[in-house]
Amino acid sequence: MRQLRDGLILNLLFGAAAFAVFRFLHAPVLGLGILALVIGYNVLLPLIARSGGHGDWFDLWAFLLPLSVFQVVPDWVLSQLLGILVFPDVGAPRIGTVPVYMAGMWVIPLFWILWLGGRSTALCGLLALLVFGASEWAAPIFHLWRPQNVAMHYGIADYVLIPEALLGWAAAFAYRETASAHPLARVAAAAAVSVFYTGALIVSYFLMTRAAI
């Protein structure tokens, strides 16, 4: 019950801050506001985990933070190499074509997907499909990212859904299998998940668009 209470508090605070940022800020200040939101979440989460005695939260966050940083690579590949993903310029610094706040943003959905999914990698994959599907639909509304030059339904790129479900599955599997491993091994596992996800995106894009021509 205490974890649920603390999780509710964390997300209510984040939700209120996010509402203010997207309601009252516009580019180029909007990008800095989003960056502040992501940094704030990645600071508050481990602080609440430590103060509340939620060791599993801190452990999960420590695994997901490097994974989120590595996720800049698939975003970069999609946006610069393939040209099928666009990150609108809302004022944030960039790593290539990717806003720097994306390096920490993946923590937010993946944390709750893996925590709620527990030890079931299949459930984590299903939750990832639902959560990331909703995120893909909402992202253009908030000027976070948008797909282009690909088949879409309801604003969601067709090719991305299966890889995002696989991302949830792979992240849960890597986290579970490296539970007692050295921290550097866990970072390597996080990197492997991101590489796997990048490959899944490229294969899915090829099969759904190029191979069908």
Mind listing the pLDDT tens digit for each residue in 69-104?
999 999 999 999 999 999 999 999 999 999 999 999
Give mean pLDDT, residues 138-161: 95
Q: Give 174's contacts (C-beta < 8 A, 6+ positions apart).
A: 63, 189, 190, 192, 193
* Half-sphere exposure at residue 10, Cβ-oriented, CA atoms within 13 angstroms: 23
Q: What is the pLDDT of residues 110-125, one digit of tens each?
A: 999 999 999 899 999 9
37-63 pLDDT per residue, tens: 999 999 999 999 998 888 899 999 999
Domain map (residue ranges) of the chain: 59-210
> Per 3-state DSSP, what percentage of the chain is helix, strand, and coil (rounded to 5)?
70, 5, 25
